[in-house]
Amino acid sequence: MTDEMDVLRRDYLPNELHSQLRSIAFEGTIAVQARQMTEETEWLLEQAEEHDWIEGVVGWVDLRSPHLREQLERYARHPKLVGVRHVVHDEPDDEFMLLPEFRRGIAQLREFDLTYDLLLFPRHLPVAAKLVREFPDQPFVVDHLAKPAIRDAQVSPWKEDLRRLAEFPNVLCKLSGMVTEAKWKQWRDDDFHRYMDIVLDAFGARRVMIGSDWPVCTLSGDYASTMGIVIDYVQQLPAEARENILGGACARFYGISPSPQTGSEPIEHEPLSP
């Protein structure tokens, strides 16, 4: 990490998240992996066992491994493993997702009822479309809008490529990770409106969900204001669309139920420990 990322040089643990989650009236969360190691997957599942408001975990398994089935059989037994993710945007090969061994791994996820999170940069969107076309029955979700260049106010070709990906009905998109793609701590809410407009137009409200990217978002904004970008934006939408974006789509996609206490539904967060 660089010096400007000092805020992330510590552990972020469940109790710290829970107080912030409750402050904006959410009852549950999905924890999402950050490191390419099964030890983190195991740790996240342990946290989910200890804290019932962590309703699901998107972990990591080695999708390229010849022993992938053994990993899936081991971790998928845990009821809170809901999906997997690979940090594709850090791979040096832009067509990493099309490698035969990676595609063989994706092909096994449906058998275990696991989703897949697409962590991408805009240049990866055409590659993602090729992958998704091959697996029409596999649920996919694009994390962080695929990180458009918000700080430079750029829209194309991200917009066109995202729309082509949205043509596949098994793909959803998360409204998350925007503040770190803007000018850190210098953004305004309306900097993000046209990007969210494009996502809603492409996917429709039923295939869009809120996410926080916590604790990474703290590089550029506090938790409440980061979440407020989406919460305030969706107030213009019909009630059904608001409820879907603020929890319903997430619950359906990851196969979890609304909180029995309030009816509130979960959002997704990045890992609890960087």
Q: Is the overall model pTM greater than 0.85, yes or no?
A: yes
Domain spans of the chain, in order of start: 48-266
Q: What is the dihedral of CA 108, 207, 177, 259, to 10 degrees?
A: -90
Each residue's pLDDT, cut to its tens digit, for the chain (274 residues) gives 787 899 999 999 999 999 999 999 999 999 999 999 999 999 999 999 999 999 999 999 999 999 999 999 999 999 999 999 999 999 999 999 999 999 999 999 999 999 999 999 999 999 999 999 999 999 999 999 999 999 999 999 999 999 999 999 999 999 999 999 999 999 999 999 999 999 999 999 999 999 999 999 999 999 999 999 999 999 999 999 999 999 999 999 999 975 444 344 566 666 544 3
CB half-sphere exposure, 175, CA atoms < 13 A? 34
- Give the separation between CA 140 and CA 246, rounded to whole angstroms: 18
For 233-245, how does the pLDDT look when each residue is reduced to its tens digit (9 = 90+)? 999 999 999 999 9
Angle at 159 between CA 153 and CA 162, to 5 degrees: 135
The CATH classification of domain 48-266, taken from the options 3.30.70.2190, 3.20.20.140, 3.30.1490.20, 3.40.50.1220: 3.20.20.140
- Give the separation between CA 273 and CA 260, rounded to whole angstroms: 27
